[in-house]
Structure 1
Amino acid sequence: MSAHLASSDRQVANTADRRTWLGLAVLTLPVLLVALDVSVLYLAIPSITASLAPSASEQLWILDIYGFLIAGLLITMGNLGDRIGRRRILLAGATVFGLASILAAFAPTAGILIAARALMGVGGATLMPSSLSLIANMFSDPRERGRAIGVWTAAFAGGSAIGPVVGGVLLHHFWWGSVFLMNVPVLAVLLILGPRLLPEFKAPSDARFDVLGVVLSMGGILPAVYAVKTLASDGMDATTVAVGIVGVVMLAAFVVWQRRAPAPLLDLKLFGNLQFVGAISVALVGMAALGGMSYLTGVYLQSVMGHDVLAAAIAGLPMAVAVAVFSVGASRVAALIGTRAAFLLAIGLAAVGNLGLLALTTSSPIWVYLLCTSVAGVGYGIQFSLVSVVAIGAVPPERAGSASGISETSFELGNALGLALLGSLATLIFRSHRNGWDFGDTLGETLLRALDMGSPGEGLASAARQAYVDGMHAASLTAGIALAVLGVAVYFAMREPK
C-alpha cells in the first residue's frame, strides 16, 4: 500500500471500513505476543535452569533484560516511528522479535539466551508504540478510535493472562524452547498481512534526531527500573541505591536537555495538558497497584492456598476477561457518563477490588479472590483503555508515536514500582510478624524449612502463611489508598473532560 493512501485517503473517511478493522486485528498480534512473553517465561525458568545451568545472576538477567530494554526504548522507538514510518518500524521490530525468538528457543548457553532476550526487548519496544500510534491514523472517528484502542488494550490484557496457561500447556508437552517458538507463526502472519492491511504514516522532519536525548533517557530509565526491581527482589543495598541515584540524575539531565533540544525526544509541552498528565498518572499508579496485586496474590494462591501454577493461572482468568471486556467497552462508558466520570468510576472499582483483598485469609474460599480481582479488573480495563485514548487524543497525529511511547513507559515504570514498593512493604510486614518463629527471607524458603522439619514444622508453616497474608493486606490497603488519592487528583485535573 502506498504512503499517500495511508496518510491521506484513510484520514478522509469518517467511518472505518472492513479493511481497517482487519488491519486492527493484525495490530493486536504483536501486542498479544509482547504481553504474553512477559508472563510466559516464569513457568519455563525451572526447565531452563535444568538445561542451561545459569548462575543466579544469569537467571535474573534472563527474566529481566527483556522488560528493561522495552521500558528503556519505548519513547525512543515511538519517536523513531514518527520519523521513519510507523508501519516500517513495526515490521522491522517484528522481524527482530521473530529472529530473536528462534535464537532464544535454541540457545545453547545462558549467555546466548540473555542476548536473545535482549534482542526480543529491542523488537518488542517497537511493537507497542507503533501499533498504538497506527490506530490514531487508521481511525479518524473518535468513538471508533476509542473502541479500537479498547480492543488493543484487551489484547494486551489477554496476552498477560493466558501467558501462564499457554506456557503450562507447552511445557507439559514440549521442551522449554517452545515458549519462544510460538512467536514465529504469529509474527509470520503479521509480516505477510501487515504490508497489505496497515497504512504507512510518518512525519518527516529536517531537524536532527535527538541522539543525546536517547542516551540520557536510556541512561535514566534503565538504572531506575533496575533499581526498583532489585529492591523488590533482593532488598536495599548500597549498590542498588547508587544505581537508582544514577538513574534519577540522568533523568533530571534528560528533562533539562529536552527543554533546550531543537527537536526534543520528549515534548514537555504535553505535560501542560492536564488531561494528558491525568492519564499518565492513572497509568503509573493504576499499573503499580495491579502489578503489586498480581504478584502478591500469585504467591498467595500457590504458597498459602496450595494451588499449583496452572490452577493459579486459571484463577486469574476471570480478572483478565473483565479487563478485556471493559477495555473494549471503555469508550462507550466514557461517551455515556463523560471521560472524567469514567476515570473516577474505574479508579473507584480498582480501589474497591484491592481493598476487598483484606477479606482474604489463609483458608478463604476461592470465590472471594475471584470476586475481588474481577471487580478490580473491570476498573483496570476501563482506565487503561482510556489512558491510551486520552494520551493519543492529546497530541496531533504526527506526534502520536511519541505520546504512545510515553504512556507505555508509564505502564512499565508503574509495574516496576508496584513490584518494588508494594512487594517490599509486604516482605517487611512478613519478616516483622515472625513472633519468635525461625522464618526465612521469603514465604517459599520458610515453607521448605518447615517441610524439612516434618510434623514439628506445621506450626512454623502456619505462622508463615498468616504473616504473609498480613503483609499482603498491608500492601492491598496501601494500593487502595493510593488509588483513592489518584481519584481525587483526577477529579481536579480533568475538570474539562473530552
Structure 2
Amino acid sequence: MNIKKWIILCLVSSALFLIVIDMTVLYTALPLLTHDLEATATQKLWIVNAYALVVAGLLPGLGTLGDYVGYKKMFLLGLAIFGGASLLAASATTPTVLILARVLLAIGAATMMPSTLSIIKLTFKDYQERALALGIWSAITAAGAGLGPVIGGLLLEKFSWPSVFIINIPIVMIVLIISYILIPQYPTNKDGTWDFISSFQIMVGLITVVFAIKELAKPDNNYAVLFGAFAIGIIAIMMFIRRQNRLKFPLINLAIFKNPYFTGGTIVAITTSFILMGFEYILSQRLQLVLGLTPLNAGLTIMMMALASLVGAILIGIILTKFGTLKLQWVTLLLAFIGILAFYWVLHAHLAIQIVTLIIIGLGLGGAMTLASNAIMSNADDKNSGMAASIEEVSFEFGGSLGIAILGGLFSVFYSLFFNFNSNSVDLSKAKGSLDETLIQAEQLPLSISKELIEAGKAAYDDAFSLIIIISILSLAFTIILLIWMDLKHKRLPE
C-alpha cells in the first residue's frame, strides 16, 4: 500500500476542510457578529455571500490555469492567500473590512480548490481507489459544511467571533510546509495557452448574474441595478460561450456537456449545494434565535446532518462500481427528498425527532455529492482535470451561493410578509427586516411589549422557513424527475 498518496489526500482534504468550514462557520457566529459590528440585514447577507460569490466567479479561470502552470503551484499559492486573508478577517472592526477579507479568502479558496481534485485524480490511478478517495473528499465537504457551526459554537463558548478566522492560520502553515515537501510536480497541459479573456468573461458573467438574483430576492431591491447586473451577466456569458466555440483551445470545452454522466453530475452538484447551504443558513439561526439553543448546541444539532453526509459519501464511494451512476444519483436525492419532506411535518415537534429527519437528509445529500464529483472527474482526461475540477467546484459553489442568495433572500421577503405586530412603540420598518433586528428592537422596549414582539418574530420566522422547505422539496423533486429521465434515455451508454 502506497502511504504517500493517502497522506497527500489528507493534505488536500485539510485545505478543503478549511475552505468549506469558512462558508458555514459564520452561521453560528452571525448573531454575535451582527450585533458587535452593527451590521444590517443586507451587510449580513454580503458577509456570507461575498465568499461563495467571488469563488464561483473565479473558479473557471483559476481552475483551468492550473492545467498550464501546475496544480501544486496553484494549491500552495491559494493556501498562502487564504492564510493572510484569515488574519485580516480576524482583525476586522467594521462590516466593510470583514466583507473585503471574505473576498480575499474567496480568492485564496478559488486558487487552490480545483487543484485539490486534480491532485486526487492524478494521484489515484486505480478507479476503485479514486472512487473511494473522491468519496472521502466529498465526505470532507459535507462534514466541513456541518462541522463549521459546531467549531464556531465551541470557539464562541470561550472566545469572541474573530477566533473563527484565527484558527485557520496555524493549520494553513502546517499544510503549506508539508505539501511543499510531499506533493510532486504533475505534468502540465502543453497544448495551447490559458485564455485570460475567457476567464474574465465568465467571471463577470457568474458574479453579476448571482448578484442580480440576490438583488431580486431582497424586499427593497433596486430594479435598475437588478436588470443592469442581469443584462451584463447574460451578455458576458453569451460572449464567453461564443468565444469557447471559436477557440482552438477553449478555457472550457463545452462539448464535454454532451456526456450525460458529466452533465448529470453537474446538475446534482448544483442541486445538493443549493439545498444544503440555503437550508443550513436558515436552520442554524433558527436553532439559536427561535429555539434558544446556544451556538455550541446549535452546531452540534447541525453536525448530526454532517456526520450522516460523511457516512453517505463514504458508502457511495465504496459501492459506486457496482451500480450505475445516474441511478444512484436519483436514488440518493430521493432519500434526501424524503428527509426534507419529513422535516417539514415535524418542524414543531421535539428536537430529537427533527434530528432524525436531518440524518436522513444528510445521508442522501452526502451520497449524491460523492456521485457528482466522481461523475465529473471521471469523464475528463488527465490534461484537462483542472478544467473538470473547476466545473465541479463552480457547480458546488454556484449552487451554494444561489442557495444562500435565493433561499436566504426569499426568506427575508417571507419574514417581512408574515411579521405581524401592531404597536406605536416599535419601529416596524426596522423590526420586520429580520429576526435579528426584531430582537434588537425588543431589547429597547418594556418587558411586556418585548415578549409580544419576540413571539411575533419567532412565529414569522417559522412561517417563512416552512415556505423555504417547500421550495427545497420542489427543487429536489424536479431534479429527481430529470435524472430518472436521463437514466432511462442513456441507460445503455457505457460509463
Common topology (TM > 0.5):
yes
**1:260 match:** 246
In structure 1, runs of 5+ residues without a counterpart are 1-15
**1:173 match:** 158
**1:474 match:** 467
Q: Deviations over 1:61-100 (max 9, x none)?
A: 5544332221111111110111111112111211222233
Q: Are residue 381 (structure 1) and residue 388 (structure 2) matched?
A: no
Kindly state the Cα deviation for residue 129 of structure 1 after the two structures are TM-superposed. Answer: 0.7
**2:320 match:** 334
Kindly state the Cα deviation for residue 59 of structure 1 after the two structures are TM-superposed. Answer: 6.3
Relative to structure 1, the CA distance from residue 397 to residue 346 in structure 2 (aligned partners, 3 Å threshold; closer, same or farther) is same
Q: Are residue 399 (structure 1) and residue 384 (structure 2) matched?
A: yes
Q: Are residue 228 (structure 1) and residue 221 (structure 2) matched?
A: no
* 1:48-447 matches, cutoff 5 A: 62-106=47-91, 113-232=98-217, 235-238=220-223, 239-361=225-347, 363-434=348-419, 440-447=432-439
Q: Are residue 23 (structure 1) and residue 16 (structure 2) matched?
A: no
> Equivalents in 2 of 1:305, 1:59: separation in Å?
21
Asked whether the equivalents of residues 25 and 152 of structure 2 are also in contact (C-alpha less than 8 Å), the reply is yes
Asked whether the equivalents of residues 53 and 398 of structure 2 are also in contact (C-alpha less than 8 Å), the reply is no
Relative to structure 1, the CA distance from residue 114 to residue 290 in structure 2 (aligned partners, 3 Å threshold; closer, same or farther) is closer
Kindly state the Cα deviation for residue 249 of structure 1 after the two structures are TM-superposed. Answer: 2.1
Kindly state the Cα deviation for residue 442 of structure 1 after the two structures are TM-superposed. Answer: 2.8
> Equivalents in 2 of 1:228, 1:59: separation in Å?
17
Asked whether the equivalents of residues 191 and 249 of structure 2 are also in contact (C-alpha less than 8 Å), the reply is no
> Equivalents in 1 of 2:160, 2:458: separation in Å?
33
Asked whether the equivalents of residues 344 and 466 of structure 2 are also in contact (C-alpha less than 8 Å), the reply is yes
Q: Deviations over 1:354-376 (max 9, x none)?
A: 11122134x42002220111101
- Counterpart amino acid of 2:435? L
Relative to structure 1, the CA distance from residue 416 to residue 51 in structure 2 (aligned partners, 3 Å threshold; closer, same or farther) is closer
SS of equivalent residue, structure 2 residue 448: coil
Q: Deviations over 1:408-432 (max 9, x none)?
A: 1111121222233333444444444
- Counterpart amino acid of 1:489? L
- Counterpart amino acid of 2:205? G
- Counterpart amino acid of 1:422? L
> Equivalents in 2 of 1:63, 1:277: separation in Å?
28
Q: Are residue 492 (structure 1) and residue 485 (structure 2) matched?
A: yes
Question: Between Structure 1 and Structure 2, how many residues are aligned?
Answer: 482
SS of equivalent residue, structure 2 residue 433: coil
SS of equivalent residue, structure 1 residue 287: helix
Greater mean deviation of Cα atoms: 483-492 or 417-426: 417-426
Asked whether the equivalents of residues 62 and 114 of structure 1 are also in contact (C-alpha less than 8 Å), the reply is yes
> Equivalents in 1 of 2:78, 2:292: separation in Å?
40
Identical positions, percent:
32
Relative to structure 1, the CA distance from residue 241 to residue 369 in structure 2 (aligned partners, 3 Å threshold; closer, same or farther) is farther
Greater mean deviation of Cα atoms: 390-399 or 309-318: 309-318
> Equivalents in 2 of 1:433, 1:342: separation in Å?
39
Relative to structure 1, the CA distance from residue 51 to residue 480 in structure 2 (aligned partners, 3 Å threshold; closer, same or farther) is closer
Kindly state the Cα deviation for residue 23 of structure 1 after the two structures are TM-superposed. Answer: 1.2
> Equivalents in 2 of 1:80, 1:463: separation in Å?
52
Q: What's the C-alpha RMSD, in Å, of the aligned pairs?
A: 2.8
Asked whether the equivalents of residues 293 and 354 of structure 1 are also in contact (C-alpha less than 8 Å), the reply is no
- Counterpart amino acid of 1:320? A
Kindly state the Cα deviation for residue 379 of structure 1 after the two structures are TM-superposed. Answer: 0.5
Q: Deviations over 1:214-255 (max 9, x none)?
A: 110111111122233344455532123322332222112211
Asked whether the equivalents of residues 83 and 203 of structure 1 are also in contact (C-alpha less than 8 Å), the reply is yes
Q: Deviations over 1:11-56 (max 9, x none)?
A: xxxxx62211111111111101101112223455676678777788
> Equivalents in 2 of 1:84, 1:197: separation in Å?
18
Relative to structure 1, the CA distance from residue 37 to residue 246 in structure 2 (aligned partners, 3 Å threshold; closer, same or farther) is same
- Counterpart amino acid of 2:434? T
> Equivalents in 1 of 2:453, 2:417: separation in Å?
15
**1:10 match:** none
- Counterpart amino acid of 1:482? S
- Counterpart amino acid of 1:377? G
